[in-house]
Amino acid sequence: MNKADAARLVAIVVTAYPNYDKFRDEQAVTATVNLWASMFATDDGRIVALALNKHIATSKWPPSVAELREIMLEIQRPDLIPPDKAWAAVSDLLHTVGEYNHGDLQHQLPPLVARAVETIGWGNLWEMHRSYCVGGKPGMDRVAFVQQYGPMYEREKQRAMTPEGITAQIDRASAALPDKGQKLLETREQDRREYDERMNRIWYRGLEQALETAERPQLEAGEGDNTE
């Protein structure tokens, strides 16, 4: 979005909020145009305009840059699920799949939600989920998930809301500093995924062998009947 686009959008804001005293100052309006041109420089002006229209329709007060970027996030990152909706998806999966979930969580849940569940451990989450049936405190599964997922969601949300140019500058600054363990964290996550894949392959192989063993006597009995 260029400065001309920013000026058009700010003009819409001035029209939509005629009683906002700040917009009666020409210097303040010019400063707002310059700020928006900078903060939305790498964004699609149509997305910014759409976010602005939603804000105008739902708020009595002019938008801040952060408020617009939050609405833009809803439009551009549908995979970034708020904690309440994320828990609803996990709760549904607990009810439908049950304890022995050997499916790939990355294919059952949005990526960040799946990562939170992996960190807790499906078995641990299931035990908390069923504990209320045996006298445990209800809702502990939800508490554990929200405590794990909430900070992960906020970190990803903050990064996604930050303009690309600022994010690139931060990344370059971080890369210039000595590594403080970030690569180790990435390695641990990759090792975890590879381990889970190996365990799933072993489980499925064992299941196939068990099914083959169970079917073999039936096949042999059928062959015997045909011989007679």
What residue type is assigned to position 48 of the chain? V
pLDDT computed for residue 145 by the predictor = 96
Report the distance separating Cα 122 and Cα 99, nearest Å.
8
What residue type is assigned to position 178 of the chain? P
* Token duo for residue 33: 């145009």
Residue 176 binned pLDDT confidence (cut-offs 50, 70, 90): confident
- The overall average pLDDT reported for the chain is 85
Tell me, yes or no, if the pTM score tops 0.75.
Answer: no
Cα–Cα–Cα angle for 111, 112, 115, rounded to 5 degrees: 90
* C-alpha distance across the termini of the chain, in Å: 83
pLDDT computed for residue 181 by the predictor = 65
Closest C-alpha to 189, from 133, 132, 111, 135? 111
| Mean pLDDT confidence for 71-75 | 94
Q: For residue 164, what are the contacts with CB-CB under 8 A and spacing of at least 6? A: 42
Look at 204 and 118; give whichever has higher pLDDT.
118
Residue 171 binned pLDDT confidence (cut-offs 50, 70, 90): confident
H helical segments located in the chain: 3-16, 26-39, 45-58, 65-76, 83-97, 105-108, 111-120, 122-130, 140-161, 164-176, 182-227
Report the distance separating Cα 142 and Cα 110, nearest Å.
17
Residue 172's Cα: distance from chain center in Å?
A: 24
Q: Is the CB of residue 98 less than 8 Å from the CB of residue 126?
A: yes
Closest C-alpha to 29, from 17, 41, 42, 46? 17
pLDDT in tens, 31-66: 999 999 999 999 999 999 999 999 999 999 999 999
pLDDT computed for residue 37 by the predictor = 96
pLDDT in tens, 139-155: 899 999 999 999 999 99
Look at 181 and 146; give whichever has higher pLDDT.
146
pLDDT computed for residue 146 by the predictor = 96
